[in-house]
Structure 1
């Protein structure tokens, strides 16, 4: 009977790491709730949630006995459900690939450009919200934008780096020990439906040009009439020796927002108009979010007269000290950085 079968079914799901390709390794495996079983054979089994791009497995209790008294010969039999077909999107994501960058559009409107050849590390810039709202600071990638401070030239739009990795500095680009992240290859691109996908291979080199590590990163772009999203997955690889992430506050994924999302002005450096507010998942607000651990940080307010915001989430499976939430280098001047490798104790208020 269905009601007796229900507790004897276990469901789980996962996805494949490399572009949803079979055989590329399972990621994000999770248990799924079995809500209901109907029928008398064949059976209809309802799960708590179904998500496109995931593989669903059903495992049955090895003690199950059929009406005729037969047991399951293999207690580990599993049924893999076919992947779901994504619904047609009114805002298809498309890519335009060139020798130096990849441009992303959502529903025909410019969203972002992934620049991988003109800087000491790949950066996402510019990035626009719905209605062509400029979301990031232009400096230092573009000079002369009114109302922008010329501070922290290493804060380049959306970027990835860390202050201390095997003695090299991949956060700052102006020091003697500053390293570079060299784009090696576009591994895969997909676009045209509800999302666009970019996967690249990159080499992390110290100031002497020695490769100390590498990464494969995947950027997935989506959007609709009210929001745009970027999902980043990055896998770091030790290529020769151990890859050591040293405990520094400056890292790992950074965003430098439009100056209107700053919390405080800086008239001395030309920043007179700011409208930003900030809060995190723990309920802290304003400058109080700096140096705290949280699931997410949200900077919001009008940008050039249009309501906007940047919500930055750190996935709960990201590495962090003793399993804690990510540490946030989130500043009043518009830097938002999620750092799983920050020191346990940091003095001061981040004014450096």
Structure 2
């Protein structure tokens, strides 16, 4: 077994310890619950489980997603994420592998937010597959500040620390998640405020960032050749050609760019459409106009990485633009995104743009 495979095997074994808690996400129902109490429940329930280190989100009695922060991960994530039909749009591996999935990039799990160069440290590529953490950073869940269920929305406020390998805090993150759902649509608002509490923090222009989603295999683009991708430190990961049966994904940006050409372009939103088990599904990520680096560059790959990177401008524009973002001691910056999951419909031209305009105004 090669060293690379040994690391991935070790990573899978470590993370799999958490799989029983996170795979299904939902909380078991008491079948003897009084019907009157059932009727009084909020439509959007946030169920806190400190022992399992997660918060489940249930909409109309159906599992939507979980905010999870196990010790086996290097950052908290939303995982898995489901449609209104409870179909997972996120890749299962390495927590709950599914047949036919890719096993590249073990740091790609669910929906996450971090960056590839924070004072020279790589937060993006860190995972339990990395043994020497010296040049890597990790994000630690500190507390749940507020949690609220409701009929229109559920709101979760959390506090996180971006730390180096010795425990020094470079950034504090205060994030609000707003979960909504009605009929066949689900939305997540992720509003993160980063603050530099102890000194200047440089987020140097880097390809690896910032809001990332790793999709289910069916939402990837069909691939007809093997690929090799490198991270910011030049380490290569093979992404082999795979069986394309049932692989239906297609990107489209607010600027009308489609397919793999979306990578390295700017736009206020990008959608990814496809089918899973005959269910029409589209996932859109929306960039808010007040965000640093707006309109964001898109680090969107056909193999399933769907990411918005507002700060990696030089890397993604082939040198045309550059943004070496930094925060002075005590300074803050807010990054606001919306993720929309449409199901049971093929979104028509203009649908995502109309939703974007309504949200951004």
Q: TM-score, normalized by length of structure 2?
A: 0.68
Question: What's the counterpart of residue 172 of structure 1?
Answer: 125
Distance 1:334 1:154 in 2: 13
Distance 1:153 1:110 in 2: 24
The within-5 A match list for 1:92-103 is 92-99=43-50, 100-103=53-56
The one-character-per-residue Cα deviations of 1:158-211 (angstroms, maximum 9, x if unpaired) are 111100001111101136412110000000011132100000000111122211
1:272 to 244, 268, 272: 244
Question: What's the counterpart of residue 89 of structure 2?
Answer: 135
Question: What's the counterpart of residue 332 of structure 1?
Answer: 302
Deviation, 1:269, is 6.2
The within-5 A match list for 1:64-213 is 92-99=43-50, 100-118=53-71, 119-143=73-97, 145-173=98-126, 174=130, 176=133, 177-213=135-171
Q: Greater share of helix residues, 1 or 2?
A: 2
- Measured on the aligned residues, the alpha-carbon RMSD in Å equals 2.0
Contact 1:301 1:307 in 2 (8 A): yes
Distance 2:78 2:91 in 1: 11
Question: What's the counterpart of residue 12 of structure 1?
Answer: none
Distance 2:113 2:284 in 1: 17
Question: What's the counterpart of residue 13 of structure 2?
Answer: none
4+ residue runs of structure 1 moved beyond 2 angstroms?
A: 264-273, 343-348
The within-5 A match list for 1:219-298 is 219-265=177-223, 268=240, 270-273=242-245, 274-298=247-271
Question: What's the counterpart of residue 44 of structure 1?
Answer: none
Deviates more, 1:261-270 or 1:192-201: 261-270
Residues 1:243 and 1:225: Cα distance change in structure 2 (over 3 Å): same
Deviates more, 1:181-190 or 1:168-177: 168-177
In our comparison, the structure showing a higher alpha carbon Rg is 1
Deviation, 1:347, is 7.0
Structure with larger RCO (C-alpha < 8 A, sep 6+) = 2
Deviation, 1:345, is 5.0
Distance 1:105 1:271 in 2: 34
Contact 1:117 1:183 in 2 (8 A): no
Deviation, 1:271, is 4.5
The one-character-per-residue Cα deviations of 1:114-139 (angstroms, maximum 9, x if unpaired) are 10233211011011101111111011
Contact 1:91 1:224 in 2 (8 A): no
Distance 1:315 1:183 in 2: 25
Question: What's the counterpart of residue 319 of structure 1?
Answer: 292
Question: How many aligned residue pairs are there?
Answer: 256
The one-character-per-residue Cα deviations of 1:305-327 (angstroms, maximum 9, x if unpaired) are 2110111101111101xxx4111
Distance 1:180 1:346 in 2: 24
Query: Mind listing any 5+ residue stretches in structure 2 that lack a counterpart?
Result: 1-39, 227-239, 319-361
Q: TM-score, normalized by length of structure 1?
A: 0.69
Q: Secondary structure at the match of 1:288?
A: helix
Deviation, 1:156, is 1.0
